[in-house]
Structure 1
Amino acid sequence: MTQFEQISQHIWIMHAEHETDRPLLAAIVGERRTLLMDAGASPSHAAQLREELMNRSLRLPDIMMLTHWHWDHSFGLSAWNVPSIGVRETAERLRLLKGLDWSDKTLNDLVRQQIINDSSAGHIRLEYGADRNIEIREPDILFEKKLELDLGGVSCEIHHVGGDHAGDSCYLFVQEDKTLFLGDALGPSVYGGPRKYTSGEFLRLTNEAFHFDAHIYVESHSAPVGKAEFRQDIDRYVELARLVEACGKNQTNIEEGMKKFLQVQELPQEFVHALEWFLTD
C-alpha cells in the first residue's frame, strides 16, 4: 500500500515500495511553484503521486529534477508534462536507452552488456508487465555543478555529487525545511560489474552531506530520518571506509578494527557485505 505523508512545512513524500524497487518521490511546494524530485519508475508510479497531490489539493509539479538516470528514478518522466532538470551524464545515459523495444531479449542484452543488472531487469518486468511500451525522455535543462531554484518562499539547491552508485548522482537541499535528499548517492555501484564501493568516494560524499545544515535526511529507498539517527547509522560505514583507507586490502585488520569500533565479537552481516564491496576491484 502506498504511503504518502507530509514531512515538513513544504515537503510531501510518497514512500518507496520495495516489490518493484520504486523509490521515494517528493513534492516541494512553494508559493509559486512545485518541484518534483524524481519522475518515478513508470507512468503508473507517477500517476499515483499525482492522485495523492490532487486529493490533498496541493499544487501539481511545475518543474522536476532527476537525482540520477537509473530506471526507477527516470522512466516515469513521460508522464510529467513539465520541464525537467538533470546533468549532462543523465541525458547521455537516457539517450542510449531511447528507441528500445524492452522485450525480454532487450532486457537480457542490457544485462549482458552490464548496462543494468538482473535485479533491475526483474523489477522492470514486474513494474510494466508483458506489454512494456516504455518511452524514454531526457531532461530538458542541463547543469554542471549546482543549480538554485526559488519556488516562492522555498529555496532549493541541486548539487551534482557523482559517486560509485552513479556518476550523475545529485543531492537536493531544501533550505527552509532543512531537508537533504541524497537520492541513491551513498549506495554502491550496481551496474557495470559487481557491486562495489570506493572508500575515498564514500568518504567524500558523506563529508559533503554533513556540510549542509540539514535536520532531515532522505535516501530514495528508505524512510526519512533525523540528523542524529542518520549520523549514528552512517558513522559506522564512515569508520569502515576509513579502515579500508588505512589498511588497504588487509581484510583481517579491517575486520578487527571494525569489531572493536562496534564493540562486537562477530561482524554483523551488513558490514560483511559492505566490506566485500569496498574490497572489490
Structure 2
Amino acid sequence: MPCVAVVADDAGSTVIDAGQSPGHARLVQSAMAGAGLPAARRLVYTHHHWDHTWGACAWEVEEIVGHQTGAELLAAESRRPWSHEYMEREMAADPRLGPSFRARARAMPTWDDFVVRPPTRTFTDGLTLPGGVEVRHVGGGHAPDSTVVAVPDPGVMLLGDCFYPPPFHLREPGPAGEEIDLPLITALVAEGFDWYVDSHSPPWRPPSP
C-alpha cells in the first residue's frame, strides 16, 4: 500500500493522498481515530495515480487539492466504466497494463459506491494551506502532476512518487526507463528537511554532510 500522511491541526487534519481504495482509506480513518487526531478536513493529492486517489470516495472532506493537470486526468478517469470485467478487456487489448490493473483488482473487492474524485481545488505552481503546509508542483517522469508537500514544522517533506520511474506501461524499453530521477531527488534533499517520506518506503533522513 502507498503511504498516507496526516498533518494534524486543531481545525481539522490535512490528509496527504487518499489511499488506494475505500477500504484502505477506512483503515487510515480508524488509525486517526485511535490516535485521537482531528477528523480530516481536506485531502491533498501528490499525483493522480490510482493508488493515491481511489480511496477519496470514502473521505468526507471540505476540499480535495490537486494540480490542474491531475484534475484533467482524473476527470477522464472518472468517466471510465471501472469494473473487473472492464480491466480484463483493457489488459487483453494492452498486456502492458497488467501490473497496474491486476493490482487495482486486488485492491477493489467490490465496486459498490466507488467513484473517482478529481480535485475540487486546483493549482499550477503551488499554494500554502492552513497550518503552513506548502504544496508545490515538481513534475517529472513518473507523473506530469507530481507534487511535493512540505511541512516546515516539524521539518518533513512528503515526496509522493515524484522521483520514481514512470509506471510500467509507460516506460521506454531498456534499463534507462527504470531509473529514478536523480537530479530531482538530489535537489529536494538539498533543501535540508530533517525527514523525507516517499510513498512506498519507510521515512528516511538524508545522509549527514
TM range (shorter): 0.7 to 0.9
Residue 182 of structure 1 pairs with residue 155 of structure 2: no
Following superposition, the deviation at residue 36 of structure 1 comes to 0.3
Percent of paired sites with the same residue: 27
The whole-number CA distance in structure 1 between the counterparts of 2:185 and 2:10 is: 32
Q: 1:172 aligns with which of 149, 152, 155?
A: 149
How far is 1:23 from its partner?
0.4
- Equivalence for 1:277: none
Residue number in structure 2 paired with 1:138: 118
Residues 148-173 of structure 1, C-alpha deviation per residue, up to 9 Å, x if partnerless?
1222xxx2111100111101100111
CA distance in 1, matches of 2:29, 2:84: 30
Q: Which amino acid aligns with 1:101?
A: P
1:103 aligns with 2:83: yes
CA distance 1:138–1:113, shift in 2 (3 Å): farther
Between structure 1 and structure 2, the one with the greater Rg is 1
Give runs of aligned pairs for residues 1-281 of structure 1, distance below 5 A.
22-82=1-61, 83-111=63-91, 117-129=97-109, 131-133=110-112, 134-151=114-131, 155-190=132-167, 192-194=169-171, 197=177, 202-228=181-207
Q: Contact between 1:217 and 1:226, CA under 8 Å: does it hold in 2?
A: yes
In 2, are the aligned partners of 1:164 and 1:198 still within 8 Å (CA)? no
Comparing 139-148 with 189-198, which one deviates more in the overlay? 189-198
Displacement of 1:112 after TM fit? 6.4
Deviations 1:96-115 (A, max 9, x none): 1224332334214544676x
Shift of 1:141: 0.4
Q: TM-score, normalised by structure 2?
A: 0.87
SS at match of 1:227: coil
Determine helix, strand or coil for the equivalent of 2:31: helix
Cα distance in 2, alignment partners of residues 172 and 89 from structure 1:
17
Does structure 2 retain, via aligned residues, the 8 Å contact 1:171–1:180? yes
The one-letter code matched in structure 2 to 1:26 is A
CA gap 1:73/1:113 in 2 versus in 1, 3 angstroms: farther
SS at match of 1:52: helix
1:203-223 CA distance string (max 9 Å, x none): 441243124230111110110
Q: Report SS of the residue matched to 1:226.
A: coil
Structure 1: tracts of 5 or more residues without a match: 1-21, 232-281
Structure-1 separation of matches of 2:136 and 2:163 = 14
Deviation at 1:226, TM superposition (A): 1.4
Q: CA deviation at 1:119?
A: 1.1
Cα 1:84/1:148, change in 2 over 3 Å: same
**Structure 2: which 5+ residue stretches go unaligned?**
none
